[in-house]
Amino acid sequence: MNPPAPTTPCVSVEVRDLRKSFHAQEVLKGINLKIAPGDIFVIMGPSGSGKSVLLKHIIGLLEPDSGDVLIQGDSIASPDIRDKYRMAMVFQSAALLTSLNVAENVGIYLAEHRLRPPGEIARMVTAQLEAVGLKGVEDRMPNELSGGMQKRVAIARALVIDPQLILFDEPTSELDPLMAVVVGGEILKLKSLTQATSIVVTHDRELAFGIADRVAMISGGEILFVGAPGEFQSHPDPRIHNFVDAHLPARRSPSLRTDPNPPKL
């Protein structure tokens, strides 16, 4: 039952003709992707484009209608896949267990699989929390932490697994810009620490171009682009171009905002 120590620090991921429908609405329309071992692969796209659904298929939380996801050549549907490879996911909501304190959350994988004695788990938990910039929060409950701290606890929980593949679902959503930069830095630090393959789903362009080795864009359940971040930014496809350059319209000038003849009350 206990997963073996990883023989390689990272794994390849291949998505083959993945299709999924919910209530007759096709959300993924034959997705094909190849992700090289050790890459930080960012999947971008507008809201509702199927990014998170794709991510949940990659980690095996959803079953496809057809197609397959291969981890180092092995199907994600095979029963012993999680015993063979160490995989972790940082959820959009952090998904910390609210009935456990921070230390128990971070150490849950080691404790439940009985991989280390309790004293060693406590030491590892403290070390991983310090690695994500959280010190002295071991006894606090998740609801006592800010959104950014919860995300970092979730990253620490993933680090403890020593994953070969780590998935991030919207890691900077609901975070202020400063905290988004911190979380982006954590993802880069994670790569240097573990060499794990990382798949990041986001619509945060700054995060994507800051951390990605390769970028994919998904829209309407289809892959529009896969390539280097530089190619992505200069791609001529108007759908990609609009996504990259999307910004709010310029504010009207103050003189226009002040009505010279305000309506009488």
Partner 1 sequence: MFQNIGEIIVLFWRTVQSLPLAWHQRRKFFDQLFEIGNGSLFMVCILSLFIGGVLALQTGPVLAERGLSYVLGGMVGLSMCKELAPVMLAILIAGRSGSAMSAEIGSMRVYEEIDALRTMNIDPVAYLVLPRMLAIAVALPALVLFAIPVGWLGGALVSTINHQIAVSFDAFFQDLRQVVQMGDILNGVFKSFVFALAIGIISCHQGLITRGGPRGIGRSVTKAVVNSIVCILILDYFLTRFLLYVQK
- Report the interface residues with partner 1, using CB under 8 A: 3, 56, 59-61, 82-83, 87-89, 91, 93, 95-99, 108-109, 112-114, 157, 161
Residue 208 beta carbon to partner 1: minimum distance, rounded to whole angstroms: 23
Residue 3 beta carbon to partner 1: minimum distance, rounded to whole angstroms: 6
User: Nearer to partner 1 by C-beta: 3 or 45?
Assistant: 3
Residue 59 beta carbon to partner 1: minimum distance, rounded to whole angstroms: 6
Residue 130 beta carbon to partner 1: minimum distance, rounded to whole angstroms: 21
User: Nearer to partner 1 by C-beta: 187 or 226?
Assistant: 187
User: Nearer to partner 1 by C-beta: 15 or 154?
Assistant: 154
In DSSP notation, the chain reads: -PPPPPSSS---EEEEEEEEEETTEEEEEEEEEEE-TT-EEEEE--TTSSHHHHHHHHTTSS--SEEEEEETTEETTSTTHHHHS-EEEE-TT----TTS-HHHHHHHHHHHTT-S-HHHHHHHHHHHHHHTT--S-TTS-GGGS-HHHHHHHHHHHHHHT--SEEEEESTTTT--HHHHHHHHHHHHHHHHHH--EEEEEE--HHHHHHH-SEEEEEETTEEEEEE-HHHHHT---HHHHHHHH--PPPPPPHHHHS-SSPPP-
User: Nearer to partner 1 by C-beta: 112 or 206?
Assistant: 112
Residue 241 beta carbon to partner 1: minimum distance, rounded to whole angstroms: 34
User: Nearer to partner 1 by C-beta: 61 or 246?
Assistant: 61
